[in-house]
Amino acid sequence: MLTLHAPAKVNLFLRVLAREPSGYHQLETLFCSLEFGDTLLLERKESGISLEMDGPDICPPEENLVYRAARAFLRVRGEGDGVRIVLRKRIPTGAGLGGGSSDAGATLLGLTDLFPGRVDEVQLMSMAKRLGSDVPFFLARSSLALARGRGDRVRALQPLPPAPALLALPPLTVGTPHAYGLLARSREGLKPGHEARTFSAGDFSSWDALRALARNDFEDVIFQEYPTLRPIREALEETGPVLSLLSGSGSALFGVFSDETEALGAESVLAPKFPETRFVLTRTQSRWADPRLLGGVEREVGD
């Protein structure tokens, strides 16, 4: 049985740009993967897809992105192949940590190992894009990447040294469509969203450099809609992280720290203040993207 890790991600910055006529928004964000994540186990079987799930927020198997990823892969493969998948969930849903997308990316990678040489990299990335805008990032296995477009144009960056991170996981979920609706209403009557900016290599050269970029356009509207989140964010910032933000459209918040002692100290301060919030100590990952899937490091998918 093949075992795979599906890492969570955080957004080290997130800018929501202009809205397309289709209703989708253009994004500019920096993804960073974490050691914290889900586990998948895959093995071949004669036919069909079976998905067993263990953990919180379990949905019907046929609605899970893991099942949909396996179905898309096996359709390309043709009849006569099947897979059994066990998904052990740790990443909460509706938290902005990319759990479903990461599970889907790991599933596609695992299936290429179980059925080698039958689906090429172009087909695999096309599947990833159809499954969700974050899936290409997880499929490429980069630990640090700049994403644009709808989040599916991914440029892998040189990884930073791994750093301790503290996740704050409040007991609420935020739906992404709802978050975008809140942001759109807050911008009614204003000029179109920000334009994409040009970055230099130095912008991503260190954790201190990234602090200057750290912002999330969702924070104001999400904190207004879910007022219990703002005090956690403010208290987290007071513990002295290198940077701290809401991840994605929430509800998770995170801080990146310079050393593990500081992260442990932050957890000891915050946990008693917010007993209903789960705090998870983890680390950021440091690994290069798979060049077979990105077509080479620092090349954009879809170019």
Q: Which positions are catalytic?
A: 9, 134
Q: Are 72 and 38 in contact (CB under 8 A)?
A: no
Cα–Cα distance between 118 and 111 in angstroms, integer?
A: 10
Angle at CA 105, nearest 5°, toward 108 and 10? Answer: 170
In the chain, how long is the greatest CA-to-CA distance?
57
Residue 109 φ then ψ, to 5°: -65, -45
Cα–Cα distance between 284 and 103 in angstroms, integer?
A: 18
